[in-house]
Structures are given as structure tokens and as C-alpha cells.
């Protein structure tokens, strides 16, 4: 092995700056205990049967070692009957069959339990993730989260198969053989094994290294997955900006890092082998010297001695496998740790214990002295007061980054206010259940999420179990029915993962149909038409008008002409309301709103301060 410090310095200059690895997480024992308590315990019946099978296999193996003694001492004895040899041969065969059958059941049972545990962990992870705060998804690249399901789950799966089978089988076999050896000659047993305690310290050091390398490796795989999903999703922009070489370089840097970590992991893994081999060699040499001396001095028979050596040789395989297992345990624990890190994130937005269903009578919304910051100290809303009367269309306008979308995020509690309170029909939304709150709100935003499913299913997302008539009615009201029936399979047409087979206006009308079907009393529209061309914008506007009737609507609009009919307009700048009123009043006031209006009126398609970059 090279000097570790020099090694590190060398890799440092080759590698992009390494990410810091915080010394994280609980020890292997704690993790293992948790795995057993939370996931494996329920399968104790299968585990018990499989341990019994393992014990039978272990006994059969140990008995083989004892047979050697009878071959040498009884069957080869002068004047021994030939039948003794038959008897011993028969016994050897029976032992082999018993061992084969019991290991089969043991392996099958252990693997079933191991895989069940991994599947349960994956399900738990998924259900924790879909319930996680929106903030988590905005802070973590999706590729990172996906890798917990793929790379980490696979690692855990592999480790658990190994651990459950090898540990169950080889540990018992080893114990059986050790018992046989010590039963035959305890002193010789001590001679054979007294060197092994010397291995404990190096093995522990190796374990720690392995765990660290494994964690880094899995982290890098997460970064790699994140890069892949970003590049594939943004393929158009990568090409348009000619960034292929740049992205390739980023990918290469990551694969290099993964390659190096993988090599480092194999080096640690391989290092356990020579250590154990050498110690095993020392043990065998000592046994031959001492045991041989006993035989030549007539203290032991040759049968005793050879039977002991056979047991020692037989013990070698399980011993080696068990010591190699340590490495896999470390890898599995690293994966478990990364998975538990996500499972353990408690969502900040949860129902209070005393939460009650929201009673929406009219749907009036009030923000009272509401402050909010995504990051502490970085206030986005400053003690803002908004009154959104029931059944009205209220518009929020203002420059990009003013905090308009943030206001909309607070209403369904995607985030909680950091100061003040937000009420719907007089009830603080933090005292209502999330299900009732979100059930009362329809959301149409600029980026439309269509799922990789049929048009029908995508509309029915607004109301699971809706019947055909309701779906068609919603599509008609959203001015989507006509183009849907023109699609190759009508309502059964599958729209791609990102809905790419539809135009922006068509996708937006599907999402309006979805909101229509949900029929919620409160409607939030965040730049629903900003990404559209004038023609589709007109169609979508018509659909939105239908959707808004009779509901409380909060509308953020890019083009002010679409909100000039609003019942109330709030102009927001830097997280504060700077003006409020109806269109005409605000124009007459010649303030911020009038300035924004003039800018757009001068050239409705180039809107100065309102220009935003749309992904």
C-alpha cells in the first residue's frame, strides 16, 4: 500500500475538488438493529425455520470431519471388516444429501426475507417521499432522489442477500466445525486460532474505510443520476447553446470520480483476503507442528489428527466468506444509511394533532401581516396584508421576483408563513387538515404537469373515479374536447411523460379541464397563459373565464390586459403591497401600475421590466 497522505495529495490534483463528507450517521450496529426492528422482525417465523435448516447443514458438515477419523482409525485398522467401509461411504452420502437439501431451504427462505425487507424499505421510502415537503423537491435534484431507489436499493439488495445467506449458513457451519475441533482437542484448537485476534484491529479499520468509500461512491452515483436527468430533460438547450462538450466534461469528471472510488473500494475489499490467508497459513503450520509431534509420540492417533485438520480445512471456506461479508455489510449499511436519511426527514408541513377539516362557506382569503422567507434572513414577503373577497377575481401584478408566486405557494400550504397568518373563511389554514385545504383549491400554473398516461386519466387527476360524462363535460368547458377527439386515440391517447406530443395551449387546456373537474371553490392561476402564443392564449383565456365564474380566484398574469377586468388588483414590489384598487383607479393614480401598463401598451410583446425567462 502506498502512503495514504501522498495518495490523497495525488488524487487531489487529478480530481475536481472533492465534496466534503461529513462524518455522518449512526454506527453499523445501530443501523442493523433498526433494520431488524423495523423491517425484519415481522418475518421471524421464516427466519427461525431457516436458522434450523442452517443448523442441520452445519451439523452435516461437521459430521464429515468426524467421519475421517473412522475411515483412518476403524476402516483401515488391520482385520477391519469391509462392511465398515460401506457404512462410512453410505453415511458420507446421506450427510451430503441432508446438507444439500437443508442449504436449499435455508437459502430460499433467507433470500425471500431479505428481498421482502428491501421491497418494504423501497415502499416506505416512496411513501415518505410523496408526502415530503415541496421544499425538499425544490432543494434536491430529482436524479439524487431517484438514485436512492436504484443504486442504493440495489446495493442494499445485494448486501442483504449475501448477509442473510452467508451469515445464516456459514456462521453456523463455522461454529459447528469449531465445536468439533475443540471437542477433539481444545489445546490444538487454541493453537490453530490464537493468531486470529490479531486480525480484529485491521478488520475494524478496514470496515470504517469501506463504509466511507461506499458512502462517497453512492453520493457520487446520486450526482451522476442528477446530471443525467438534467441533461436529458434539457437536451434542447444543451444543443442550442452548443454545450455538448461542457456536459461531456462534467460527466467525465463524475465517472472518473466514481471509477476512482470503485477502485479504492475494491482495494479495501481485496485487502482482507491476503490478511486472512496469511493468518490461516500460520494457524495451519502451527497445527501441523504441534499435532504431528503428538502423533509421532503416540499421544494421538493419525485419525484424530487428520480429522482435526479436515475440520480446520473445512472451516477455512466459511471463515473466508464471513470475513469478506464484513465488507458487504459495510456497503449495505452505507446504502441503508442514505435511504434512512430520506425516510427520517419529517415533513414540516403536517396536520396538527387537533387539525379539523376546513369549512369553506364562501372562499374568502385573508393574509394578515404575512411574512415569509425561503431561507432564514432572506425575507421574500414583508408583513403583507391581502384581502381576497369570496367569489372575486383578484390579480397580483408586479415585477418578476416580487413575491407573487410565493403568495400563491402559501395558500395551499406548500410552505408555511413565517409570520402573521393566512385565513380562509376566517379559519387559520394551519389549523385545518391538509386534505381539506388542498381539496378546496384548484391550481393552474405556467408549467403543466401531464403524467405519462391517457388524456382521460390526466383530466381525471382532478377527481379520481370521475365518470366519462363528467370528464367530457370538463373537457368541453375547457375548450379541449374538440382537439382531444381529433387525437389519434381520442381520450385514450397517451400523452408523453412531459406531454410533448401536445402544444403548449393544448396542455394548458387539459390542465384547466383537470381543475374544472376538481370543481374547487378557490382557484389559483399562476401565469397560466404566459407561455402561450396570442392565438392559444385567447382560447385558454376563454376556458379560464368559464373556470373562474363563481369561484374565488387569485390570478397572476403576465399580460395586464388579461386582468384589467379584475375586481381588485394588488401591485406587489419587494414583497410589499405598493398599490391596490381596480384597473381604472390605478391608471388614474399614475403610480407603479400605470407605469407597468404604459410599458406593455407601448409594445405589448416586449414588456420591459416584466420580461421573465420562461423555461
Ligand X SMILES: Nc1ncnc2c1ncn2[C@@H]1O[C@H](COP(=O)(O)OP(=O)(O)O)[C@@H](O)[C@H]1O
Which partner from the list ligand X, Mg ion, none does 380 bind, CB cut-off 5 to 8 Å by kind? ligand X
Residues 6 or more apart whose CB falls under 8 angstroms from that of 189 comprise: 178, 181, 182
Per CB under 6 A, which of residues 547..576 are in contact with ligand X?
A: none
Closer Cβ to ligand X, 225 or 406, answer by number: 406
Per CB under 6 A, which of residues 57..116 are in contact with ligand X?
A: none
Give CA separation, 478 vs 25, 113, 543, 544, 552, in Å: 51, 51, 5, 7, 18
- Kind of pairing, strands 453-454 and 379-388? unpaired
CA–CA separation, 381 vs 497, rounded Å? Answer: 35
Closer Cβ to ligand X, 281 or 401, answer by number: 401
Binding segment (CB under 6 A) for ligand X, from list 58-66, 184-192, 253-261, 404-412:
404-412
Burial 551-584 (b: 16+ CB within 10 A, else e): bbbbbbbbbbebbbebebbbbbeebebebbbebe
Closer Cβ to Mg ion, 102 or 562, answer by number: 562
Q: How many CA atoms lie within 13 A of 313 on its CB side?
A: 11
Binding segment (CB under 6 A) for ligand X, from list 2-10, 305-313, 396-404, 496-504:
396-404
Is 401 among the residues that bind ligand X (CB under 6 A)? yes
Closer Cβ to ligand X, 92 or 135, answer by number: 135
Closer Cβ to Mg ion, 184 or 405, answer by number: 405
| Binding-site ranges for Mg ion (CB under 5 A) | 405
Which partner from the list ligand X, Mg ion, none does 531 bind, CB cut-off 5 to 8 Å by kind? none
Closer Cβ to ligand X, 380 or 510, answer by number: 380
Closer Cβ to ligand X, 158 or 374, answer by number: 374
The answer to whether the beta carbons of residues 53 and 95 sit under 8 Å apart is no
| In the complex, least distance from residue 564 CB atom to ligand X, rounded to whole angstroms | 19
- Kind of pairing, strands 393-397 and 576-581? unpaired
Is 400 among the residues that bind ligand X (CB under 6 A)? yes
CA–CA separation, 544 vs 516, rounded Å? Answer: 9
Among 143, 168, 403, 505, binds ligand X (CB under 6 A): 403
Is 252 among the residues that bind ligand X (CB under 6 A)? no
Among 406, 529, 536, 539, binds ligand X (CB under 6 A): 406
What are the helix and strand counts (H, E) for the chain?
Answer: 22, 12
Is 412 among the residues that bind ligand X (CB under 6 A)? no
Residues 6 or more apart whose CB falls under 8 angstroms from that of 219 comprise: 19, 21, 338
Residue with cell 381588485: 568
| In the complex, least distance from residue 568 CB atom to Mg ion, rounded to whole angstroms | 19
CA–CA separation, 90 vs 87, rounded Å? Answer: 5
Which partner from the list Mg ion, ligand X, none does 182 bind, CB cut-off 5 to 8 Å by kind? none
Which partner from the list Mg ion, ligand X, none does 500 bind, CB cut-off 5 to 8 Å by kind? none
Residue 522 per-residue DSSP state: E
Per CB under 6 A, which of residues 356..385 are in contact with ligand X?
A: 374, 380
Residues 6 or more apart whose CB falls under 8 angstroms from that of 525 comprise: 444, 445, 544, 548, 553, 554, 555, 556, 557
CA–CA separation, 612 vs 615, rounded Å? Answer: 9
Number of amino acids touching ligand X (CB under 6 A): 10
Cα–Cα nearest to 574, from 398, 316, 441: 398
Closer Cβ to Mg ion, 405 or 458, answer by number: 405
The answer to whether the beta carbons of residues 389 and 562 sit under 8 Å apart is no
Per CB under 6 A, which of residues 265..304 are in contact with ligand X?
A: none
| In the complex, least distance from residue 524 CB atom to ligand X, rounded to whole angstroms | 12
CA–CA separation, 585 vs 324, rounded Å? Answer: 79
Closer Cβ to Mg ion, 405 or 529, answer by number: 405
Is 402 among the residues that bind ligand X (CB under 6 A)? yes
Among 127, 138, 252, 369, binds ligand X (CB under 6 A): 138
Binding segment (CB under 6 A) for ligand X, from list 236-244, 395-403, 417-425, 464-472:
395-403
Closer Cβ to ligand X, 138 or 534, answer by number: 138
| In the complex, least distance from residue 445 CB atom to ligand X, rounded to whole angstroms | 10
CA–CA separation, 480 vs 499, rounded Å? Answer: 15
Among 69, 157, 404, 509, binds ligand X (CB under 6 A): 404
Angle at 61 between CA 60 and CA 63, to 5 degrees: 65
| In the complex, least distance from residue 405 CB atom to Mg ion, rounded to whole angstroms | 3
Question: What does the binding site for ligand X look like in residue numbers (CB under 6 A)?
Answer: 138, 374, 380, 400-406
Amino acid at each position: 500500500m502506498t502512503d495514504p497522505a501522498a495518495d490523497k495529495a495525488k488524487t487531489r490534483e487529478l480530481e475536481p475538488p472533492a465534496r466534503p463528507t461529513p462524518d455522518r450517521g449512526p454506527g453499523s450496529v445501530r443501523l442493523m438493529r433498526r433494520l431488524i426492528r423495523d423491517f425484519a422482525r415481522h418475518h421471524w417465523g421464516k427466519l427461525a425455520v431457516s436458522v434450523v435448516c442452517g443448523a442441520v447443514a452445519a451439523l452435516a458438515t461437521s459430521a464429515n470431519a468426524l467421519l475421517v477419523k473412522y475411515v483412518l482409525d476403524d476402516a483401515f485398522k488391520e482385520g477391519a471388516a469391509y462392511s465398515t467401509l460401506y457404512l462410512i461411504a453410505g453415511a458420507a452420502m446421506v450427510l451430503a444429501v441432508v446438507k444439500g437439501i437443508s442449504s436449499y431451504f435455508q437459502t430460499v427462505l433467507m433470500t425471500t426475507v431479505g428481498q421482502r425487507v428491501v421491497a418494504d424499505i423501497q415502499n416506505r421510502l416512496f411513501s415518505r417521499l410523496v408526502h415530503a415537503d415541496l421544499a425538499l423537491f425544490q432543494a434536491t435534484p430529482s436524479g439524487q432522489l431517484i438514485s436512492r431507489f436504484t443504486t442504493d436499493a440495489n446495493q442494499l439488495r445485494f448486501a442483504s442477500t449475501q448477509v442473510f445467506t452467508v451469515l445464516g449458513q456459514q456462521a453456523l457451519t463455522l461454529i459447528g466445525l469449531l465445536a468439533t475441533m475443540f471437542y477433539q482437542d481444545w489445546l490444538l484448537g487454541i493453537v490453530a486460532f490464537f493468531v486470529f485476534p490479531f486480525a480484529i484491529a485491521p478488520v475494524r479499520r478496514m470496515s470504517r474505510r469501506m463504509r466511507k468509500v461506499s458512502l462517497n461512491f453512492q453520493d457520487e452515483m446520486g450526482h451522476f443520476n442528477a446530471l443525467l436527468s438534467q441533461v436529458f430533460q434539457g437536451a434542447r438547450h444543451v444543443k442550442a447553446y452548443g454545450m455538448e462538450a461542457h456536459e461531456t466534461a462534467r460527466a467525465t469528471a463524475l465517472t472518473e470520480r466514481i471509477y476512482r472510488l470503485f477502485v479504492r473500494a475494491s482495494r479495501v475489499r481485496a485487502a482482507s483476503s491476503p490478511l486472512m490467508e496469511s493468518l490461516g497459513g500460520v494457524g495451519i503450520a502451527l497445527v501441523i507442528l504441534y499435532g504431528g509431534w503428538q502423533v509421532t509420540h503416540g499421544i494421538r492417533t493419525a485419525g484424530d489428527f487428520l480429522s482435526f485438520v479436515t475440520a480446520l480445512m473445512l472451516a477455512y471456506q466459511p471463515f473466508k466468506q464471513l470475513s469478506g461479508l464484513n465488507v458487504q455489510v459495510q456497503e449495505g449499511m452505507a446504502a441503508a444509511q442514505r435511504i434512512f436519511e430520506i425516510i427520517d426527514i419529517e415533513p414540516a408541513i403536517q396536520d396538527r394533532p387537533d387539525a379539523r377539516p376546513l369549512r369553506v362557506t364562501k372562499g374568502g382569503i385573508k393574509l394578515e401581516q404575512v411574512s415569509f422567507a425561503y431561507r432564514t434572513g432572506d425575507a421574500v414577503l414583508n408583513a403583507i396584508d391581502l384581502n381576497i373577497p369570496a367569489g372575486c377575481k383578484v390579480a397580483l401584478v408586479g415585477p418578476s421576483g416580487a413575491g407573487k408566486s410565493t403568495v400563491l405557494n402559501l395558500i395551499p400550504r406548500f410552505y408555511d408563513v413565517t409570520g402573521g397568518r393566512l385565513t380562509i373563511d376566517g379559519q387559520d389554514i394551519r389549523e385545518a387538515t391538509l386534505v381539506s385545504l388542498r381539496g378546496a383549491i384548484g391550481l393552474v400554473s405556467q408549467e403543466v404537469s401531464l403524467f405519462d398516461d391517457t388524456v382521460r386519466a390526466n383530466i381525471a387527476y382532478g377527481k379520481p373515479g370521475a365518470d366519462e360524462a363528467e370528464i367530457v363535460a370538463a373537457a368541453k368547458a375547457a375548450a379541449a374536447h374538440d382537439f382531444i377527439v381529433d387525437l389519434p386515440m381520442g381520450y385514450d391517447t397517451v400523452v408523453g411523460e412531459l406531454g410533448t406530443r401536445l402544444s403548449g395551449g393544448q396542455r394548458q387546456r387539459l390542465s384547466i379541464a383537470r381543475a374544472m373537474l376538481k370543481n374547487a371553490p378557490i382557484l389559483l392561476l399562476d401565469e397560466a397563459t404566459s407561455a402561450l402564443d396570442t392565438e392559444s392564449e385567447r382560447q385558454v383565456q376563454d376556458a379560464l373565464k368559464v373556470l373562474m365564474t363563481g369561484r374565488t380566484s387569485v390570478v397572476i398574469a403576465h399580460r395586464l390586459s388579461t386582468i384589467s377586468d379584475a375586481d381588485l388588483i394588488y401591485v406587489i414590489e419587494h414583497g410589499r403591497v405598493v398599490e391596490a384598487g381596480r384597473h381604472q383607479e390605478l391608471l388614474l393614480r399614475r403610480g407603479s401600475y400605470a407605469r407597468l401598463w404604459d410599458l406593455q401598451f407601448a409594445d405589448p410583446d416586449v414588456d420591459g421590466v416584466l420580461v421573465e425567462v420562461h423555461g
